[in-house]
Amino acid sequence: MDETKGRIVIAGSVNIDISLAVSRLPGPGETLLADAISVSGGGKSGNQAVACGRLGGDIALVARVGDDDYGRLLMANMAEAGVNTDYLTVDPVAPTGQAYIGVAASGENNIIVVQGANGQLLPETVKAALPLIQGASYVSTQLEIPLATVHTLSELCAAHKVRFVLNPSPVAALPDELLSSVSILVLNEHELAVLAGPGDEAAQLARLLGRGVGQVVLTKGGDGVVLADKNRTAHYDAFKVDVVDTTGAGDTFTGALLVALSENRDMAEAIAFAQRAAAIQVTRRGAQDAVPWRAEVDSVTWPVNEQR
């Protein structure tokens, strides 16, 4: 691995995704017939780790799977992508996490998650991964694992001067103590509304920064990306592509962002790189299976987005 790259550690959930292709998402109490079914690797941290690996990052994953075929499939996915799995442990009781995803013809989706072994990624498990965390450039996590574990990760990062990245999904109210430890908060518009409360976007972003977050990266789908910190607010337009499936696009964006930052690119360049990777992802079906490789992203001729 290129020694000039900073190490990325991603800690959190890994799932098997069972995706159902439907003409549209069902309403409450409604039954629909699926057009197709597919099984692939998923979980927010698993997706981000695969994205980092396929895009050339120096990446290690801290996660937990069950002692079952799904867990072995996920381990194989990580190995193929070049992810360090020394701290991907096997739970002897809990099954591998599972996500059931409805994917509409428009590309939109809804997801129901069975936590499984992800719920057993406990504080002592991530403390055991301290040799990975020490000296890392970035540690990233989300909220599909116990909140106590997220707090422990933030404390380890603070103690060892590692930049802590949080994707607050599935979103929940978070204390200032945790938010103030976050170097980069990557979230979507729904998550912004829950964490920042009512008001327009500018007021919501200011509120999060006022709670101690270092930088906010707001992903808005077809409306692009907004970057906010204490010095600036910048908007980056989205690339226009034919959307097939948005599953995992946010995770690919986050993984790509981390890879670019670990290569010492500035934030504007990192966002452009991450947008390219996510734009390729949404033209394909699935989560981990749809993540592009580095050569694909580098070969894209879309121009770097102008901020405004």
Report the interhelical angle of 267-281 vs 249-262 (nearest 10°): 150
Three-class secondary structure of residue 79 per DSSP: helix
Q: What residue has token string 């990624």?
A: 121
Q: What residue has token string 């159902």?
A: 20
Per annotation, catalytic residue among 251, 266, 289, 298: 251
57, HSE (Cβ side, Cα atoms, 13 Å): 37
Give buried/exposed letters for 276-306 (b at 16+ CB in 10 A, else e): bbbbbbbeebbbbbbbbeeeebeeeeeeebe
End-to-end CA distance of the chain: 36
Burial of 25 (0-12, 13-18, 19+ CB in 10 A): middle
What beta strand segments (E) does 67-182 contain?
84-91, 97-104, 109-114, 138-142, 163-167
280: left (phi over 0), alpha (psi -120 to 50) or beta: alpha
Burial of 69 (0-12, 13-18, 19+ CB in 10 A): exposed
66, HSE (Cβ side, Cα atoms, 13 Å): 16
Distance between alpha carbon 105 and the CA centroid of its chain, in Å? 23
**Is 17 a residue of the active site?**
no
Task: Quote the tokens at residue 303.
Answer: 């121009």
Catalytic machinery residues: 251
